[in-house]
Homo-oligomer: A and B are copies of this chain.
Amino acid sequence: MNLAEAYNELMEHSKEVIMLNNIRSILYWDFETYIPSKSVQQRSEQFGYLATKIHEKTTCSRIGELLKLIKEDSAYDSLNEIEKRNVYLVERESTREIKVPADLVAEIAKQSTIAVQAWKKAKAKAPTNNNAYHEIFKPELDKILNLSVKRANYLDPDKSPFDVLLDEYEPGMTSEMVDVLFKELKEGLIPLIKKCMNSPNQPDKSILSRKIPIIIQEKLAIEAAKEVFYDLERGRIDTTEHPFTTGFYDDVRITTHFYETDFTNSLYSVMHEGGHGIYNQNMPKEYIYQPVGTYCSLGFHESQSRWMENLIGRSHEFWEHFFPKFKEITGDIFSDVSLESMLHAVNVVEPSKIRVTSDEVTYCLHVIIRFEVEQELLSGKITTEELPQIWNQKYKEYLGVDIEHDAEGVMQDTHWAGGGFGYFPTYALGNMYSAQMQATMKKELSDYKELIRTGNSKPIFDWLVKNVHRYGNRYDPPALIKKITREELSPKYFLNYLEEKYSSLYGF
């Protein structure tokens, strides 16, 4: 078997794994949108089947043989950059998967389902029962935490569990690197928040609660999707409890949730998920069934969603362009509202308890709290017993808010219940990537703001397609950010962006 044959066979294996993932994403979408209420058990059997198949295909001994053949072949260097990357990515994934015993994989899958159920139950009870976290959630959280640490130790016993898990979401990123970035970020954010809070120039948030019928919000959602160039001929928008994006290339699905008296919820979740959506729609089609044909990292994915939601969707220029259309669609609901009032309202800075609804300036502090707590939890420095108390202290210290119960505290997110340790930093990294890339883009598209203001932002979209989406998974995040911006990741661009924007909004 020569090099080309071995490589092609390896790619056939990859194709199958990607195909199964693709199929799974459609079943997942259906599960979250239209599945009949009593069909859940049957679907979970299908998910179990697909998970097993994907694990089998990723770890089968033939992959090891093919990798050996390829890497030991004297012609190995004749492979091009893309081919070498594919080989590297298959090896990384299969080496990782092989290290974890199959029964641990199954146990984690099972325990995460149990823990998510317990989390839901405990979260619902927490507002009226102070012990809900301890009685219902903690025992299951302990189990999934221990299993996750066990898994991390299988993957790399020489590294801290946190670093091992973070690397799965953000390859090449370490807690040390994140630590440096987050310290600088925190130091910049805290005074900025204070300046906003202390400004006499506060927005009238009440306009955001004006009632907009769902049918009108649906029209706004379609417009918002178009604004971010989300292709509705290769995608859909549906409604679910929690918005998400799934699917890739020519079949991408985003979801949103409509609330009559909270239109920004759907408007911005469509722009956010639309940002994820365009990434998935515009990855390099020529590599659709190869490892290189997927996205770079969760952080980079978040950079696209936050770009659309915040850098564009909450910008002055965007509202200059969008407000007339918005007013036309909403009739006379906002006829008395000025552009400046609307802009300031959608950019209100206000320390709060809930990450997902927090503003652009305070958002990263929510992530930093999780990062700090999570590291200590995984290293055993703190226990789940004391977790709520530490959580609440940090919220008081960093954001000045009092957590009244664990549903608005340590149990607000589902990630840990689902075994998603090491995931949170990617949200803040996404903000930093986006601002740093925007700085580069502004140099290349000197009329950047003008493009948005005049509703001609196609060149911005094209730039993102060319510089981010089309690369697929050719580079790890540290290399990709450097390739695009010619610099390593730094919080300064994000801080500068916030400083410039919010000093103007709040007048300081």
Residues on A close to B: CB < 8 A? 16, 19, 22-23, 26-27, 30, 34-39, 41-43, 45-46, 49-50, 231-236, 238, 249-251
Contact = CB atoms under 8 A, between A and B. Distances in A.
Contacts of A235: 36
A31 to B, nearest CB: 10
Contacts of A42: 22, 249-251
Contact of A30 (B19, B30, B46): B30
13 contacts: A22-B42, A23-B27, A26-B26, A26-B27, A34-B34, A34-B236, A36-B235, A36-B251, A37-B233, A38-B234, A38-B250, A39-B250, A39-B251
B34 A46 contact: no
B36 A19 contact: no
A251 B31 CA distance: 11
Contacts of A232: 36
B26 A30 contact: yes
Contacts of A26: 26-27, 30, 46
- 4 shortest A-B CB distances, which residue pairs? A39-B251, A38-B233, A42-B250, A38-B234
Contact of A46 (B19, B49, B231): B19
Contacts of A22: 42, 46
A19 B250 contact: no
Nearest to A238: B34
A84 to B, nearest CB: 26
A251 B35 contact: yes
Contacts of A50: 23
Contact of A234 (B36, B49, B249): B36
A283 to B, nearest CB: 13
A30 B251 CA distance: 11
A215 to B, nearest CB: 14
Given A36-B251, A42-B249, A19 B234 contact: no
Contacts of A234: 36, 38-39
Contacts of A251: 35-36, 39, 42-43
Given A30-B30, A34-B236, A236-B34, A23 B39 contact: no
A16 to B, nearest CB: 8
A36 B281 CA distance: 12
Q: Which of A19, A42, A46, A233 has the most CB of B within 10 A?
A: A42
A36 B249 contact: no
A45 to B, nearest CB: 7
Contacts of A236: 34, 36
A412 B36 CA distance: 32
A50 B50 CA distance: 12
A233 B238 CA distance: 20
Nearest to A29: B30
A253 to B, nearest CB: 8
Nearest to A40: B250
A38 B252 CA distance: 11
Contacts of A30: 26, 30
A390 to B, nearest CB: 40
Contacts of A249: 42
B19 A233 contact: no
Nearest to A50: B23
Contacts of A27: 23, 26-27
A251 to B, nearest CB: 4
A26 B45 CA distance: 14
A383 B42 CA distance: 46
A233 B43 CA distance: 14
Contacts of A39: 234, 250-251
Contacts of A43: 251
A232 B45 CA distance: 20
A233 B456 CA distance: 47
A34 B233 CA distance: 11
A18 to B, nearest CB: 10
Contact of A41 (B35, B37, B233, B250): B250
Contacts of A250: 36, 38-39, 41-42
Contacts of A38: 231, 233-234, 250
Contacts of A34: 34, 236, 238
A38 to B, nearest CB: 4
A236 B43 CA distance: 15
Most B CB within 10 A of own CB, among A36, A235, A249 = A36
